[in-house]
Each structure stands twice: as C-alpha cells, then as structure tokens.
Amino acid sequence: MEAGEALDHQPGSRVRTKKSARDRLIRLALTHPEWALGFQDEVWWSRLAAPGLHAWAEDEQPLHLVEQAVAKDDPDPKALACYGLLVRWATAGQQWRQQVWLRFVDGRPVSSITTQFLAWCCTQLQAARKTALLLVWDNAAWHVSAEVRAWIGAHNQQVKQTGAGVRIVNCYLPVQSPWLNPIEPMWLHAKRRVVEPARLLPAADLIDRVCAALDCPHERHLTIPQEVA
C-alpha cells in the first residue's frame, strides 16, 4: 500500500475529506454528460535532467546517457513550464472520453497565467457544448490566490447572468497528495518518453516531443503580463 493510500483511510483525516469531495465530483460528472471533469497541474520540462529510465537494450549494447551542458550563447531556457488539464466527460453509456490540453508558458506559473489558462479551457469546453468544468487541482499559490479566486467568482457570475459559457466548480486537493491527481503520472511517463540520451534538445524539439507524447497540438504560449513580469 502506498503512503498516500494509508492516509486516505485515517479517521477524520483532511486528506480523506478532500478525497471524498473529489470522488463526489467524479460521480457527478459521470451522470451529467454536459459537464466536464478536469484535473489540472503545472510541470517543468527540463532540457538537462533525465528522469528515471526503464528501457530495453540489445545484449552488450547498454543505453548510454551523455551528461548535458548548456552553452553560454544558447538562447533557449534550461527548462520550460506548461499548464496541463486532463479533461474528461461522460458518454451516453457513462464511459469516459478524455484528452490532455497543454499550454506552454514563456516564464513561470503565476496567477495571471492561471486565469489565462482557465479562460482558454472554458472557451474550449464551450465549443464542445459543455456547461460546467468540475476542476480538481492542488493548493499551489497561483491556484488559491485572491486574484484567481476573484477571477473565478467574476467568471461564474457572468455565466449566470448571461446564461452562456462554462462555470467552474473548484475542488482543492490536500497538500502533497499527487496520487489524487491522475495527470501527475502522465507527466512522469511523458518525461521518460521525450528524454534524449545523446544530445541536448533545443526547446522547440523538446516541445514537439512533449506534444507528441501527450497527443495534443502545440498551442500559442501563455505570457506573463508586463506589469507582473
């Protein structure tokens, strides 16, 4: 049993309470095909660090990883951040359909980028004729900030007043509980798939590999507004 699984069953545990809230949203989404369930997270894709690898090799031809270094005149950053949403919705037979949506960031995750990403996700869902996003995510500072909470409140108020758009229902996960977010293992598997053992990947090549590994298009990057950069 994983440590997280043990925590799930502790009487009165906040982990158990929040897990129950998450599971309730999952059950609701299954019975409302017009709603979408989204597991959101951010991740950094390093051009240097190689995750733990599991790879087959021919006899007497072991896999060799070459230690990478970034030249002083290299224009690309050492690592790239991106926002991701594992979005699911129920079919008529109460089966899940799912996609991964990615937006890379020119910079780092901050509240103003979070609201841009949420707005984009809602636009995507509205085009798919969804009316609600049941959003499961952690307690990162750029998720729980006053700016993000105010934006979600104003967004939901506008949806209510106009009768158009996708409202957002928040579900915050407990601190340090990645096992409750199914997008987390997707990051790990993708990092193993995109690693290049013999050379330093340019940022553009790394992005292409990430998008291919997660089967999603390369969308325009999100940028930090000048006033908060």
For the chain, where are the alpha helices, taking DSSP H only?
A: 3-8, 14-30, 111-127, 141-144, 146-162, 183-194, 203-213
Cβ neighbours for 64, distance < 8 A, ≥ 6 positions apart: 197, 198
Nearest to 226 by CA among 106, 66, 125, 129: 106
Comparing 28-42, 55-69, 84-98, the range with the smallest average pLDDT is 55-69
Average pLDDT over residues 220-228: 80
What's the pLDDT tens digit per position in 178-206?
889 999 999 999 998 998 877 888 999 99
Residue spans of the domains in the chain: they are 13-47+78-223
pTM of the model: 0.83
In this structure, which amino acid lies at residue 143? Answer: H
Q: What is the arithmetic mean of pLDDT over 201-225?
A: 94
Q: What is the mean pLDDT of residues 157-166?
A: 96
Give me the CATH topology for the region 13-47+78-223: Nucleotidyltransferase; domain 5 (3.30.420)
In this structure, are residues 25 and 37 in contact, taking their beta carbons and an 8 Å threshold?
A: yes
Distance CA 45, CA 42 (A): 10
